[in-house]
């Protein structure tokens, strides 16, 4: 197996993981909520919270990507079906994001504000700050779909694919960490208009990725019918 082939598989998987998960997770869109909820915390506690959230995101997404399809396989669901269903979910989510109105989720914000304080940062870093405010069911579904798309008949290619996927999830977690840590500075020049533009462009890329994943699964199902 040539190094170039493995490197290409690694790079494609890394980009797939980023393109499928990042637009749904969308750290810049969650940053204003994080800033608002941690307004009363000191700088050190806020940085610690951002670090823990980033680590939790990596663990959740990596776990979903690595074992999510096997859990579904335990219940008799094939990988092509997972790709079709996951592609539809990703595409549907992207469609909603593409045409969504800019609204504030006051229910989630109110829930988190009542729970976040200095004494329970470790617990609250997972719930509600990581799940569901940062990494919700949509992101986890996308990670499972990515895991299904990374399987190959060649085990060496599969290993390179999953290595790229894991690096992609680590980059997503790092981006969450950095975005939350420097959220106050980042949001000043961007403004509301910049957030809307970022969301729309990301949603269009996500829609294309969802259609591609759907087509990969549908093609395999069509081959089995012939």
Give the pLDDT score at 112: 52
* Confidence check: pLDDT of 75 > 50: yes
Ramachandran category for residue 104: left, alpha or beta (phi over 0 → left; psi -120 to 50 → alpha): beta
* Confidence check: pLDDT of 107 > 60: no
Burial per residue of 80-104, b for 16 or more beta-carbon CB atoms within 10 angstroms, e otherwise: bbbbbbbbbbbbebbeebbeeeeee
Per the prediction, the chain carries an average pLDDT of: 82
Give the pLDDT score at 49: 92
What average pLDDT does the segment 90-100 reach? 78
Residue pair 9/160 in contact (Cβ under 8 Å)? The answer is: yes
* Confidence check: pLDDT of 74 > 60: yes
* Confidence check: pLDDT of 104 > 50: no
* Structure tokens belonging to residue 37: 């909820």
**Taking the domains of the chain in order of start, what are their residue ranges?**
3-220
Residue pair 80/72 in contact (Cβ under 8 Å)? The answer is: no
Share of the chain above pLDDT 70, in %: 85
Residue pair 33/129 in contact (Cβ under 8 Å)? The answer is: no
Give the pLDDT score at 176: 96
* Confidence check: pLDDT of 42 > 60: yes
* Confidence check: pLDDT of 109 > 70: no
Alpha-carbon span 196 to 92, nearest angstrom: 19
Alpha-carbon span 132 to 114, nearest angstrom: 15
Q: Poorest-confidence range of 37-41, 208-212, 218-222? A: 37-41
* Confidence check: pLDDT of 152 > 60: yes
Tell me the pLDDT tens digit for each residue of 15-28.
999 999 998 888 88
Residue pair 50/202 in contact (Cβ under 8 Å)? The answer is: no
What average pLDDT does the segment 173-180 reach? 96
Q: Report which of 51, 36, 168, 184 is spatially closest to residue 113, judged by C-alpha positions.
A: 36
What average pLDDT does the segment 79-94 reach? 80
Determine if the pTM surpasses 0.85.
no
Q: Poorest-confidence range of 96-105, 137-146, 157-166? A: 96-105
Residue pair 52/125 in contact (Cβ under 8 Å)? The answer is: yes
């Amino acid at each position: 197996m040539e190094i170039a082939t493995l490197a290409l598989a690694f790079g494609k998987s890394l980009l797939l993981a980023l393109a499928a998960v990042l637009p749904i997770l969308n750290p810049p869109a969650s940053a204003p909520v994080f800033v608002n909820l941690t307004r009363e915390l000191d700088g050190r506690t806020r940085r610690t919270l951002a670090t823990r959230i980033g680590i939790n995101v990596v663990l959740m997404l990596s776990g979903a990507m690595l074992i999510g399809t096997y859990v579904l396989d335990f219940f008799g669901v094939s990988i092509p079906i997972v790709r079709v269903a996951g592609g539809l979910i990703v595409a549907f989510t992207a469609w909603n994001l593409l045409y969504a109105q800019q609204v504030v989720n006051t229910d989630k914000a109110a829930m988190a504000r009542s729970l976040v304080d200095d004494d329970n940062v470790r617990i609250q870093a997972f719930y509600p700050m990581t799940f569901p405010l940062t990494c919700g069911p949509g992101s986890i579904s996308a990670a499972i779909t990515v895991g299904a798309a990374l399987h190959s008949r060649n085990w060496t290619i599969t290993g390179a694919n999953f290595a790229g996927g894991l690096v992609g999830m680590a980059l997503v977690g790092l981006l969450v960490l950095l975005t939350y840590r420097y959220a106050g500075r980042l949001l000043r020049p961007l403004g509301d208009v910049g957030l809307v533009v970022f969301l729309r462009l990301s949603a269009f890329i996500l829609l294309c990725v969802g259609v591609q994943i759907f087509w990969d699964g549908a093609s395999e199902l069509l081959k089995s019918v012939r």
